[in-house]
Amino acid sequence: MIKETSQILGKNFKNVIKFELVFKILTSIIFIPLFLNLFKLIMKVTGYSYLTFENIGKFLTNPLVLILILIFLLLLGFYSLFDIGTIVILLDASKQNKKIELKDAVNKSFHKSLNLFKPKNFGLVIYVLFLIPFLNLGTGSSLISTLKVPEFITDYIYSNPTLSVIYLLFLLILAYIVGKWLFSMHYYFLEDKSFRESRKSSKKLIKHNKIKDSLKILLMQLLLLIIFVLALVVGILLIVLFDKLFKSITVLESLLISIVVIFAFILIMIYSILNTTFLYSFISYLFYKHKEDKKEKIIHINVKNTDKKFTKSKWRYVKYSFGLIGIVALTIFINGLVNNKYNLNIEYVRNMEVTAHRGASVLYPENTMSAFIGAKELGADWVELDVQQTKDKQIIVSHDTNFKRVTGVDLNSWEATYEEISKLDAGSFKDEKFKGEKIPLLEDVIKWAKDNNMKLNIELKPTGNETDFEKQVVDLIKQYNFENDCVVTSQNYKVLENVKEVDKDIITVYVMSLAFGDITKLDKADYFSIEATSITEEMVSKIHNQGKQIYGWTVNTEEGINKMINLNVDNIITDDITLGKKLVAQSKNGNLIIEIFKFIDKFI
């Protein structure tokens, strides 16, 4: 399998690698910022400085926005299609045993990609921007990373068996569609067919081979991943051995840590490039093989045999190009520093705190006293809880407006008195050993938190049936002099405005599932609590530069928590308190690479 793939790469291997390397660099330092700024321009033209779930509906129903977004997606689709097309054309030249000048391949791909703008090919945008990346097959453009479903949504899906099955079926349907269209890019670029014709031809060619080809592609990805991991481990082992040989020279430790980081970065870049290159080479191999097996005519692109070595002038041109790219990248970085787009204050990591989402909800029934006590025992800095108002104007702690999920009783919070609610069993749904656990009052939780030096993140969940909801919560906080040990949060910005009307000194936090643009203009929010996938380095820097804090929620994986640490958020909201505290402690106590050294040291 690897042998056939290598043969397809043939004479144009260097050109493929060069193109992918340059394309990835240009994408990172120029085109991703360019496309982001284009989207921001769309927002500016239509009068939006930020986007949240509260205003995105109105934004997307604006006819001008729809037209501008369509143009934006077409440009994005063209750029991604151009990436894929150039690789397909280079590989086709190799299949003919001819070397093609990179500029010729780029030129052909550019002109063929322009056909995307014909209405009959608009479907290509969905294919290259959403379907391929969503399945993470490694066959998408390097511009579009895998689409990530926000973690709080996947957690909710995985916690519900029915939704999990539906989500799995959805992925299988997408995989089936992408599998049928696997060779559509080859037909599109090599045979000048429309996207519709390309899909039909691909479906016909792959008939009876879908499962077999899919398994082969997955196996190829697995092999590449194994090689990458082995190379990374061997490289780090060699560096550690070098460290042991020269252990007496303490200054080398920092140097070796830097070498490991640089080595890992280079290896990841190489893997990224080779993954795309080898996978498309393998798909091309399957394309030509099926064509030959079915005696279908193979149509190649017209290539002049240009098997010539680079002249000195061409090499000089390449060097100057890379030099120019370097200067542009450095200029962009320095400009970002001058305009405070980057936050270099490492002390943010030192002050990072961990919040227990609904208490220690993995081990105990959520939003109950046992969950809050458990969170303290696990070392959480904060406890996040949700509050609602009952029929008799009591403030209770509950996430859902209806109690059926956690108590089995179909009853809404605003339709019942606290006397009725206090009789419900909020623990058995988690485990029988928690039978009899009650839905607590906010007042009782504040008393406990004050006695136990625990800070509270109090999220208000309005139902539309409340009276003086915000005032009641603020009055409770002030009654126990708890203002300095809590924040009042909500996903409804109007709630924060109401809180500030009652007491402008109460710290408010806007909870956002979606955040884009200059959200710091939302001045009734002292801080921001943002779903992790929406958080960017620029956003963190901008919020910190305003003297405000940013929380990341709900992050439950090592990868996700480490991402929040690297982005320098102030507070990580998680269900896994132990993991969160452990990773934050590692970030405070030293570089992770040092921990790798210590771990490997035990076995050497």
pLDDT band at 161 (very low <50, low <70, confident <90, very high): confident
Place of tokens 């290539």: 303
- H helix runs in 339-435, sequence order: 347-350, 369-377, 404-407, 418-421
Average pLDDT over residues 401-420: 94
**pLDDT at 593 exceeding the cut of 50:** no
Average pLDDT over residues 343-362: 72
Please state, in angstroms and rounded to a whole number, the distance separating the CA atoms of residues 257 and 601: 15
Q: DSSP of 239-292, one letter per residue?
A: HHHHHHHTTT-TTHHHHHHHHHHHHHHHHHHHHHHHHHHHHHHHHHHHHHHHHH
SS3 459: strand
pLDDT at position 446 is 97
- H helix runs in 27-150, sequence order: 32-45, 56-60, 63-95, 102-113, 123-126, 132-135
pLDDT at position 321 is 61
User: Which residues, other chains included, contact 24 with Cβ-Cβ below 8 Å and sequence gap of 6+?
Assistant: 142, 269, 272, 273
- Which of the residues 111, 290, 300, 399 is marked catalytic? 399
**pLDDT at 374 exceeding the cut of 90:** yes
Could you give the C-alpha distances from 528 to 242, 351, 399, 496, 544, in angstroms and in order?
A: 45, 16, 20, 12, 11
pLDDT at position 239 is 64
Please state, in angstroms and rounded to a whole number, the distance separating the CA atoms of residues 87 and 278: 10
Q: Tell me which amino acid residue 62 is.
A: N
**pLDDT at 104 exceeding the cut of 60:** yes
**pLDDT at 235 exceeding the cut of 80:** no
Q: How many CA atoms lie within 13 A of 211 on its CB side?
A: 1
Q: Which of 73-82, 351-360, 579-588 has the lowest mean pLDDT?
A: 579-588
For residue 512, what are the β-bridge partners?
Answer: 530
Place of tokens 């599998």: 179
**pLDDT at 220 exceeding the cut of 70:** yes
User: CA dihedral in degrees (5, 228, 274, 125; nearest 10)?
Assistant: 110
pLDDT digits (tens, 9 = 90+) for 516-553: 888 989 999 999 999 998 898 889 999 998 889 999 99
**pLDDT at 327 exceeding the cut of 80:** no
pLDDT digits (tens, 9 = 90+) for 413-463: 999 999 999 999 999 999 999 999 999 999 999 999 999 999 999 999 999
Query: Is the Cα torsion angle 76, 79, 83, 88 positive or negative in sign?
Result: positive
**pLDDT at 389 exceeding the cut of 90:** yes
Active-site annotation holds for 111: no
Please state, in angstroms and rounded to a whole number, the distance separating the CA atoms of residues 357 and 374: 12
Neighbouring CB atoms inside 10 A of 573's CB total: 27
- Which of the residues 186, 290, 357, 544 is marked catalytic? 357
pLDDT digits (tens, 9 = 90+) for 10-63: 888 889 888 888 887 787 777 777 877 888 888 888 888 888 888 888 898 989
Could you give the C-alpha distances from 135 to 1, 193, 224, 333, in angstroms and in order?
A: 22, 25, 17, 33
Please state, in angstroms and rounded to a whole number, the distance separating the CA atoms of residues 564 and 349: 10
pLDDT digits (tens, 9 = 90+) for 263-299: 666 777 777 777 778 888 888 989 999 999 989 999 9
User: CA dihedral in degrees (573, 574, 578, 584; nearest 10)?
Assistant: -40
What's the mean pLDDT when you consider all of the chain?
A: 82
Which two three-digit tokens encode residue 264? 């890992």
pLDDT digits (tens, 9 = 90+) for 119-150: 889 888 888 887 666 544 444 444 444 445 56
Please state, in angstroms and rounded to a whole number, the distance separating the CA atoms of residues 32 and 25: 10
Q: Tell me which amino acid residue 33 is.
A: P
Share of the chain above pLDDT 90, in %: 43
How is the chain split into domains, by residue range?
2-304, 309-339, 347-601
Closest alpha carbon to 385 in 581, 556, 573, 156: 573
pLDDT at position 601 is 45
Q: Determine which helix (DSSP H) or strand (DSSP E) holds 581, and give its type and residue range.
A: helix 577-589
Active-site annotation holds for 399: yes
Q: Give phi and psi for 123, each to the nearest 5.
A: -60, -20
Percent helix, percent strand, percent coil in the chain, to nearest 5? 60, 10, 30
Query: Would you state the CATH architecture of domain 347-601?
Result: Alpha-Beta Barrel (3.20)
**pLDDT at 253 exceeding the cut of 80:** no
Average pLDDT over residues 478-483: 96
pLDDT band at 325 (very low <50, low <70, confident <90, very high): low
For residue 487, what are the β-bridge partners?
Answer: 457
Please state, in angstroms and rounded to a whole number, the distance separating the CA atoms of residues 197 and 208: 19
CB 521 within 8 A of CB 50: yes
